[in-house]
Amino acid sequence: MHLSSSAELRAFDATARCGSMSAAARLLGIRQPTVSAHIASLEQSFGVELFQRHGRRIVLTGFGRLLHEITQRIYRGEEQAVALLLAARQGYQGLLTIGAIGPHNVMPMVKRFREQNPTVRVVVAVGDSREVVHRVLDQKDDIGILLHAVDDERVHCLPLRKQPLVVFAPTTHPLARCETLTLSDLNGVEFVLREDGSHTRQVFESGLAAAGVKVRCSVEMGSREAVREAVAQGLGLGVVARTAFVPDSRVLELKVEGLNMHTHVHVICLRERKEAALIKGFLELVGELSARRP
């Protein structure tokens, strides 16, 4: 029995990350049969099954998941080392990577962090909530910022602040002429909403359902910016967190009595990494910001 080669472990890790051998081959820049051979060699040499095959789809076995927890630490650490060296080439002495669902909550934190740590380079990746959590779990990002708590024993989750939802409309919409509205005034009204899975949408629709109100989703968009533009073009009303409401002469906020809905900004990191110097510094900053809010 021989020790596995780095190429075999890398092929396994890439396949586990990508969910298929063909995607892993593209990621590694090699042929798919080579990836298959590397994984077969691992399984045959050590008498283990790493993946279950379901047609073209493959799923990690229990043993495969255990091995992937180790290999992802190895190769994510390698990627972080390369990123740090590239940052050093540009004159920086550290690197902090952040995943966020949008720029509005993260930028004030980044600004404060950079003021306190001018020699640290910050890289921000924007994605949906699931991507933010997965990037932290995969150690692609040090920090994640999203609009709900994460119930996972591997994750350290720190609440920051609640932020109310606001409803807005194109200036040409009939409801835009109303000084105040009630939730019932929204019944049956067409809205431009984020995709299924959006936490803001879930909070909004749950709040409406509790009030016996149902709106119509006329258009579904994949980003806040797209929602704002669709509303500005008259495709329906929109809803966002107040911090994400960007002034635009084509839209205005509606005053809706009873709209007592909010999302809750949380900051996450891997529990095992919360004492790492830069991560700890960022979390302390978040704690200070949270303490200053009423």
Other beta carbons within 10 angstroms of residue 57's beta carbon come to 10
For residue 140, the 8-state DSSP code is S
| Residue in this structure with the two tokens 């060296």, named with its chain if needed | 85
CATH 3.40.190.290 fits 163-263, yes or no: yes
Domain topology for 74-160+264-292: D-Maltodextrin-Binding Protein; domain 2 (3.40.190)
pTM of the model: 0.65
Domain boundaries in the chain? Answer: 6-69, 74-160+264-292, 163-263
Per-residue pLDDT of the chain (294 residues; tens, 9 = 90+): 355 578 899 999 989 988 889 888 988 899 999 999 999 999 998 999 999 987 777 889 999 999 998 888 888 777 777 777 877 776 567 889 999 988 888 898 999 999 988 888 899 998 888 889 988 998 889 999 998 899 999 999 999 888 899 999 999 999 999 999 999 999 999 999 998 878 899 999 999 999 999 999 999 998 888 999 999 999 999 999 988 888 899 999 999 999 999 999 999 999 999 998 889 999 998 888 777 655
Q: Calculate the dihedral angle through the C-alpha atoms of 241, 242, 247, 251, rounding to the nearest 10 degrees.
A: 60
Distance between CA 152 and CA 44 in Å, rounded? 34
Domain topology for 6-69: Arc Repressor Mutant, subunit A (1.10.10)
Same fold, 6-69 and 163-263: no
Nearest CA to 269 out of 256, 259, 258, 278 is that of 278
